[in-house]
Amino acid sequence: MKRALVVALLALVLPASVSGGTPITVLAAASLTDVFPRIAPGPRYSFAGSDQLALQIRQGAPADVYAAASPRYTQLLYRDGFVQKPVVFATNKLIVLVPRSNPAHITTVYDLRREGIKLVIGDRTVPIGSYTRQILDALGITTDVTKNVVSQETDVKGIVTKVALGEVDAGFVYLTDAKPVASRTRSIALPAWAQPPIRYELAVVKASANVAAAKAFLKKVTSKHGRQLLSKAGFGLPKKP
């Protein structure tokens, strides 16, 4: 009798927590690590470089939503039939991040040309690395600055970590990456005229087993509340789609 009662109780509990609530999988750019779980705590997240995640989708990794720090990856996946039409949901800017103690006494981006500076940037295959090279080209200091690169990371969080730990003198990151490590770092603004356009795009993966829930996630990110949290985290907001 007691066993039958326990089974009955489990039957009431399990559907709500397991069978009816399987979380969707969201593959998202590393720079969204802090904000996405605040907007929607329910999904199963995997944060990494946008290029790595795009490759995973092409190789058939289970995923419901893809969010990239550059339209390049979402648009290519859309062209090749892997995702539904992408939506721009946020923008960003580049800054130079230095340790709080700033031992190299860096005050402007042009100081990164000095001999002996230890600089970390993103690999050229990831958005942060591509954007960094664009702004250096625009400023006309690519050769002088890249000679000081001691490490190229596969996502922006790797850059932030090295700077926050004082392992390097500076790194190029997104404006939004500075907030979580503000107590251990300083931010140096870059000229507005040289900033490349940084747009984040979101798309439902066509092979998703739960398209309705994936679309609901997109709506949550682009909702008024989602946009407020993105803005609070330092992201720019495009016109609402």
Alpha-carbon distance values, 212 to 64, 126, 195, 204, 216 (Å): 10, 30, 37, 10, 6
pTM for this prediction: 0.87
Per-residue pLDDT reduced to its tens digit, 98-134: 999 999 999 999 999 999 999 999 999 999 999 999 9
Domains 2-91+197-232 and 94-194 share a fold: yes
For the chain, how many residues are written?
A: 241
What's residue 240's pLDDT? 66
Question: What was the pLDDT predicted at 22?
Answer: 85
Q: What is the pLDDT of residue 4?
A: 41
pLDDT for residue 44? 96
pLDDT tens digit string along 189-231? 999 999 999 999 999 999 999 999 999 999 999 999 999 999 9
Nearest 5°: phi and psi at 160? -55, -45
- Residue 167 has a CB neighbour count (10 Å cut-off) of 14
Task: Give me the long-range contacts of 149-153 (CB less than 8 A, separation at least 24).
Answer: 149/119, 149/120, 149/121, 150/118, 150/119, 150/120, 151/120, 151/121, 152/120, 152/121, 152/122, 152/123, 152/124, 153/120, 153/121, 153/122, 153/123, 153/126, 153/129
Domain ranges of the chain: 2-91+197-232, 94-194
CATH architecture of 2-91+197-232: 3-Layer(aba) Sandwich (3.40)
3-class secondary-structure state, position 45: strand
Mean pLDDT of 58-83: 97
Using an 8 Å Cβ cutoff, are 97 and 31 in contact?
A: no
Statement: residue 1 has pLDDT above 70 = no
Residues 135-186 have pLDDT tens digits of 999 999 999 999 999 999 999 999 999 999 999 999 999 999 999 999 999 9
Q: What is the CATH number of domain 94-194?
A: 3.40.190.10
In this prediction, residue 201 carries a pLDDT of 98
Q: What is the mean pLDDT of residues 11-32?
A: 66
Q: Which of 202, 199, 206 is nearest to 84 (CA)?
A: 206
